Structure 1
């Protein structure tokens, strides 16, 4: 597990390193239906999601995108918005919760904390963490049984967005 000596909130983004690495999201409130059995639980909440940042999209830019972006640029935001039952919209090729994006931002700011570590090979560290099966909100290469339901929930939201936009 990534060390939780320092976690970041939405207000701490200027302090996040501009380096590649891995980050783990902790939540003090769990979205509806998300199972937490086997997840790491600590003083900062329950670890539900792990992600990577590359040389081009550093830890700081990735976390800024998660805290303040939109559903098109952040799979975490897409997943949380779906769990918060927000209507997804397709605008051109982009997915967004439209005027409800601030709801996701506010929810993340209130309930999310993120620990990160700079790492030259973030993909291998992410794979190692995902291999533990402790992160229910990840999909790709995730053995957690809830990953399939997250994938189906996001697919249903995308399908509904396309149907409305058609």
Structure 2
């Protein structure tokens, strides 16, 4: 696990470093069905997700995307929205939770805390953390057995959103223009 000095919330993420680095999300409430065996538990909650920030998308901007963005710009938001049972929607060329995005933001503000460490080479930390198999909400490069279920859940939500969008376009072709 990474060593960190500070944990950020929705209220203070704007003070996170404007640098590349790695971050770990902790939750004091666990979404239904997410296994927590072997996950790190601290006073901030249970560590369920790890991510990286690059020079172009710094720690501060990544945290903003997660706390305030939408499902098309944050895989964490996409995963949480699917676990919260929100319907994914096709909005233009993007898949989001549409008018339900605030539900994800509110849930993250109430239950999410994120620790981060600035580092010019965050990929090595992310890889090391993922190989530990202790982050069930990650997919790419994650040996955790739940990663496959997360992938399937997200794929089903995407498929349903695209099918609903195609149905709406076929039903109201003039409105789709």
TM-score, with length taken from structure 1: 0.98
Unaligned runs of 5+ in 2: 167-177
Count of residue correspondences: 166
**SS of equivalent residue, structure 2 residue 52:** strand
RMSD: 0.7
Compute the displacement of 1:90 (Å). Answer: 1.0
What is the match of residue 90 of structure 2? 90
* Secondary structure of 1:22's aligned partner: strand
State the secondary structure of the residue aligned to 1:11.
Answer: coil
Q: Deviation at 1:4? A: 4.2
* CA deviation string 1:73-105 (max 9, x = no partner): 000000000000000001122111011000000
Q: Which runs of 4+ in 1 moved over 3 A?
A: none
What residue number does 1:154 align with?
154
Counterpart of 1:51 in structure 2 is 51
Give distance in 2, aligned partners of 1:147 and 1:43.
Answer: 25
Query: For the residues of structure 2 that align with 1:2 and 1:17, how far apart are their CA atoms?
Result: 16
Separation (CA, whole Å) in 1 of partners of 2:14 and 2:79: 25
Counterparts of residues 76-115 of structure 1 (less than 5 Å):
76-115=76-115
Structure 1 equivalent of residue 142 of structure 2: 142
- Match of residue 116 from structure 2: 116
Q: Secondary structure of 2:12's match? A: helix
